[in-house]
Amino acid sequence: MSADGYRVRGRDGEWEIAVGLEVHAQVISEAKLFSSAPTAFGAEPNTQVSLVDAAMPGMLPVINRHCVTQAVRTGLALEAEINLTSVFDRKNYFYPDLPPGYQISQYSRPIVGEGRVVLDLEDGSQRTIGITRLHLEMDAGKSIHDRRADATCVDLNRAGVALMEIVSEPDIRSPEEAGIYLRKLRSILRYIGTCDGNMEQGSLRADVNVSVRRPGDELGTRCEVKNLNSVRFVMRAIEVEAERQVAVREDGGEIELETRLFDAERGETRSMRSKEEAHDYRYFPDPDLLPLTLDPAWVEAERARLPELPDARKARFMADYGLSAYDAGVLVAEREIAEYFEAVTAGRDGKQAANWVTGTLFGALNRAGIGIEQSPVSAAALGALIDRVADGTVSNRAAKDVFEAMVSTGKDADAIIEEQALRQVSDEGAIEALVNQVIADNPDKVADFRGGKTKLMGWFVGQVMKASGGKANPKAVNQALRAKLDG
């Protein structure tokens, strides 16, 4: 089923879903959005806190230029409008891990306006998801409730860290699309180095807005499911929330605008606060910060500095290397993979290189549970192995064994080929001797072949290969057999 045709099957028929995502992406930056405190993950609690982050009396925020650059780069990568004037607002609410009693965010005038992300769906079709806006805001700290029985502890290391909130239009039509969208967004952010996309460490978190409707109807009332920290949870939360809404509607109920939490263990969403309980954040422009103005020439310079993005690279891989859309899509999803592939394929056949990377290499990485940046076989080493196949030194079959040995020993292809005597036998005399032996041992099969059962050729090749210990060059074996049997 294509993603576009996703339907929730209710008691009384089918429902469509409409989903929008609000993604919070932590900006890659040494310092926080409004202070010079460092941002490294995993530091001891409260060791990365400036006077500003702790909201000491009289302290003032100063915008971190680098974070602004990162937001603009992201906006450009999302093909979005860059707002040359944007405003920081205060979002007021009390929480112990929010030291100033307000979050500095951008409310009515965000730094980035409308943009888009193109999704490649599994059936090969594409869908464009609209980006509503991207704004900069500071993160809050962390309340730790289980450290002490008698108190809640607060860690302010995250307080003030720069986040980009990337809001999509409600264009997503299935949980799968949401997953593809999130992965694509993550890929783009990682390509341009504005967010590491690490969902386990909380560098990327998503809130999903879900509504259901009868096909063709107007959008229904949405519910927001907050703080999902994996692609799997995003997809699952959409699924169960849509099912919940369908059940409510089919029972004659109304969906109320509310914020909900996803319980992964029980596979359900639960109400967090209703519209009536919603905070009044009393947004107003932060008087400590002037409106942020950008020089259009600077924006254009940043645009020119952007690296090749996944979509462009995919098109190039298809055109230059003759790859399928699927293979190209797989290879460009991660910048590191794409770069690895390009190093492997340099001066070699693109399809061969793609098969090695997406098949053999990925298989090895998956088994080891590691990423390409930790690959035990470097791109250069894999390229050298492919060369040995191309020049006939080893058979394709034997090359797989060579690769496994490279993974386990870290040695290069030539060393392993020598050590394990995997060099392919192409010597005509040696192969002829093997062929003669097989023919001599199997007179009945020879008679059958000559009597018209030409399909036995494969059987003969297999026997010769077996006799050679897999080292004979299959092409040479074939030729020699044909000469003998046909002759």
Partner 1 sequence: MSDLTALTIADARAGLAAREFSARELTDAHIAAVECARDLNAFVAETFDAARAAADDADARLAAGEGRLLEGIPLAVKDLFCTRGVRSQACSNILDGFAPPYESTVTANLWAVGALMLGKTNMDEFAMGSANVTSADGPVINPWRRRGEDKPLVPGGSSGGSAAAVAAGLCLGATGTDTGGSIRQPGAFCGIVGMKPTYGRCSRWGMIAFASSLDQAGPLTRTVEDAALMLQAMAGHDSKDSTSIDRPVPDYAASLTGDVRDLTIGVPAEYRMEGMPAEIEALWAEGVRWFRDAGATVVDISLPLTKYALPTYYIVAPAEASSNLARYDGVRYGLRVEGNDPTEMYARTRAAGFGREVRRRILIGTYVLSAGYYDAYYLKAQKVRTLIARDFESAFETVDAVLTPTAPFAAFAIGEKMDDPIAMYLNDVFTVPASLAGLPAISVPAGLTGDGLPLGLHLIARPFDEPTLFRAAGLLESAAGFSHRPDQSGAGRAV
Residues forming the site for partner 1 (CB under 8 A): 51, 54-63, 90, 92, 94-96, 99-102, 152, 154, 280, 282-284, 287-290
Least gap, CB of 416 to partner 1 (angstroms): 60
Q: Which residues contact 468 (CB under 8 A, 6 or more apart)?
A: 425, 431, 434, 477
Q: Give, rounded to a whole angstrom, the gap between the first and last alpha carbons of the chain.
A: 55
Least gap, CB of 52 to partner 1 (angstroms): 9
Q: How far apart (Å, rounded) are the C-alpha atoms in residues 471 and 487?
A: 25
92 vs 227, beta carbon nearer partner 1: 92
61 vs 383, beta carbon nearer partner 1: 61
282 vs 453, beta carbon nearer partner 1: 282
With DSSP H G I counted as helix, E B as strand and the rest as coil, what are the percentages for the chain, rounded to 5?
40, 20, 40
Q: How far apart (Å, rounded) are the C-alpha atoms in residues 153 and 53?
A: 16
Q: How far apart (Å, rounded) are the C-alpha atoms in residues 52 and 35?
A: 6
Residue pair 219/213 in contact (Cβ under 8 Å)? The answer is yes
Least gap, CB of 136 to partner 1 (angstroms): 15
- In SS3 terms, 44-85 reads as CCCCCCCCCCCCCCCCCCCCCHHHHHHHHHHHHHCCCCECCE
Least gap, CB of 138 to partner 1 (angstroms): 14
Residue pair 234/205 in contact (Cβ under 8 Å)? The answer is no
Least gap, CB of 62 to partner 1 (angstroms): 6
100 vs 179, beta carbon nearer partner 1: 100
Residue 56, class by beta-carbon neighbours within 10 Å (0-12 exposed, 13-18 middle, 19+ buried)? Answer: exposed
Least gap, CB of 141 to partner 1 (angstroms): 10
Token digits for 370?
């590691």
Least gap, CB of 27 to partner 1 (angstroms): 19
286 vs 327, beta carbon nearer partner 1: 286
Token digits for 379?
């791109």
Least gap, CB of 412 to partner 1 (angstroms): 54
152 vs 324, beta carbon nearer partner 1: 152
Residue 338, class by beta-carbon neighbours within 10 Å (0-12 exposed, 13-18 middle, 19+ buried)? Answer: buried
Q: Can you give the length of the chain in residues?
A: 487
Return the DSSP state at 38: B
